[in-house]
Amino acid sequence: MSTSINTHDGVTVFLTSATEADVHADGAVIGMQAVDGDALRDRVVAFVQERAQRLGVPATAALIDDSSHWTLTVEPDGRVTEAPTGLVTESFEPRPSSTAPIPTIAAAAPASASAAAAPVSVPVPPAPVAPPVSAMTAPAVSPAPAVSPAAAAPTTPAAEPKPHRPTVEDLLSSRPRQRPLKATTGWQGRVRRMSGGLISPKPSSAEQTRHDQTNRVQKRLDGPRTIVVLNPKGGAHKTTSTLLLAATFGRLRGGSTLAWDNNETRGTLGWRAQHTPHHRTAVDLLKDLDRFENPSVASLSQLDDYVRTQVDARFDVLASDEDAAATSTIDDAAFDRLHRTLSRYYRLLIVDTGNNMRASNWVAAVAAADQLVIVSTVREDTAASAAWLLDGLAEKGFGDKVDRAVTILTSPSEKPDRELEQRLADHFGALTAAVTTIPYDAALVDGGTIDFDALSPETNDAWLNAAAVVADQL
């Protein structure tokens, strides 16, 4: 290593490698290390700058490697001047922050007459020989922020990154996706309650099935969905199916469900729903629809003057025209306008249809449907009507919706015809995505207002399964 070059303030820097240096100052030797040559230069400049600021006069250091001697001068205001020994160069303004780009360090060129008038810039020598800290290739050079002598003490290699500090998002994401199901019914539920939870048998298979079906009904939807219930024959259980599907979805999804009677003249959905203080229908809503076409000035609660809230079942009913003397009808344009507006206020719209497949509002409902539900009693006549319907829908260009449709077969008596039921299940199973069956329930026979609490557990389970099958297709 070359001998020291004495300066007026006694600082000499020996570059021992590309990333290490020994700084001799005031009779002491300070070792410096850095991750690369640029970082080492910053440390040296910062050390000399601190001396200049402390002394109030320019501080100079000799920079020495195996082949070159350089002089580094730092003014108290941070300006830096670098040159080979014996040369004079212009000074540059200090860099405002040590995080700014650092100039490339170049090797010294031989001194010459022409070199004395301008800064020297030559290529960087290859590693492992340490490049001189002082030569510059960029037009501006600035020191890193000043550090104290204590801060310039030998350092160790860069520390490992700090471990991740958990955030509230980490806490929330660590929650279990689904808590273990605890028995609430059957002997398993009784044992769990009697023991205060100390003994907790697994739920029965029936309870587990109901839990899984409930999860399917409660699936997340990325927008409003329209379910259309179809069979062109009267007495096929369209209205009953519409109300019971709406009740199942409403209770399990927390509302925002509408059962809508889209009969072009008069339907019975409003009659079979729970009574409300008013008797307004889709025709009345259509007359005042301007109020609701802008959601920023209207709300769901304002629709209470037009829909019939089924409080216990947590869904609303929009009835069809009930005026026996009326001559107006709901056409396709009226349906489209109602559907567009109501989709802004409800997540699920379950539409009961009339018996006229040629009516424009009937066709408009099928066109708007996200899901078709084909209903029939286990009877030859209503089943034949449903089969004819599917043929017609395919011919009208709705074959893709038929493929994804769900068929619901309801038993018309306590003693169903099992052979016919199987034959119908086979036929519609080959045409639609799924077939599900509903048992006979005496609470639905009289044709009056449906008392949802009067339904048998078997009926409730069957409609839960039907709703889950429909939800699978949404």
* Cβ-based neighbour number of residue 65 at 10 Å: 25
Averaged pLDDT, 9-32: 80
Q: How far, in Å, CA of 31 to CA of 15, rounded?
A: 10
What is the reported pLDDT for 327?
A: 54
Helix (H, G, I), strand (E, B) or coil at 283: helix
Q: What percent of the chain has pLDDT over 90?
A: 40
Give phi and psi for 145, each to the nearest 5: -55, 145
Q: What share of the chain is helix, strand, coil (3-state, %, to 5)?
A: 35, 15, 45
What is the reported pLDDT for 157?
A: 63
Domains of the chain: 11-152 (no CATH), 182-210 (no CATH), 218-473 (3.40.50.300)
Q: What percent of the chain has pLDDT over 70?
A: 79
Look up residue 425 and give its two tokens: 């299940």
Q: What stretches of 351-398 show up as alpha helix (H) in DSSP?
A: 360-368, 380-395
CA angle 154, 156, 161 (to 5 degrees): 145
Q: What stretches of 148-203 show up as alpha helix (H) in DSSP?
A: 168-173, 186-194
Element (H, E) at 402: helix 399-403
Q: How far, in Å, CA of 207 to CA of 30, rounded?
A: 76
pLDDT digit string (tens) for 239-250? 999 999 999 999
Averaged pLDDT, 156-164: 72
More confident residue, 156 or 139: 156
Confidence bin at 325 (pLDDT 50/70/90): low
Q: How far, in Å, CA of 334 to CA of 175, rounded?
A: 48
For residue 148, pLDDT beyond 80 = no
Confidence bin at 180 (pLDDT 50/70/90): confident
For residue 272, pLDDT beyond 60 = yes
Look up residue 138 and give its two tokens: 């960029």
Look up residue 427 and give its two tokens: 């036929």
Confidence bin at 38 (pLDDT 50/70/90): confident
For residue 431, pLDDT beyond 50 = yes
CA distances from 86 to 79, 83, 138 (A): 19, 8, 21
Q: Yes or no: say if 373 and 237 are a contact pair by the CB < 8 Å rule.
A: no
Q: Yes or no: say if 62 and 6 are a contact pair by the CB < 8 Å rule.
A: yes
Confidence bin at 400 (pLDDT 50/70/90): very high
For residue 117, pLDDT beyond 60 = no
Amino acid in position 377: T
Burial class of residue 315 (count of CB atoms within 10 Å of its CB; 0-12, 13-18, 19+): buried
- Which of 81-90, 256-265, 401-410, 448-457 comes out lowest in average pLDDT? 81-90
Averaged pLDDT, 345-350: 95
Q: Cis bond leading into 128, ω under 30°?
A: yes
Between β-strands 371-377 and 434-438, what pairing exists: parallel, antiparallel or unpaired? unpaired
pLDDT digit string (tens) for 354-389? 899 999 999 999 999 999 999 999 999 999 999 999
CA distances from 257 to 226, 235, 308, 438 (A): 10, 24, 12, 22
Look up residue 105 and give its two tokens: 């360090």
Look up residue 57 and give its two tokens: 């006069």
More confident residue, 123 or 466: 466
User: Residue 86: left if φ>0, alpha if ψ -120 to 50, beta else—which one?
Assistant: left
pTM for the model: 0.63
What is the reported pLDDT for 326?
A: 63
- Which of 28-37, 212-221, 411-420 comes out lowest in average pLDDT? 28-37
For residue 135, pLDDT beyond 50 = no
Q: How far, in Å, CA of 280 to CA of 270, rounded?
A: 10
What is the overall mean pLDDT for the chain? 80
Q: How far, in Å, CA of 40 to CA of 42, rounded?
A: 5
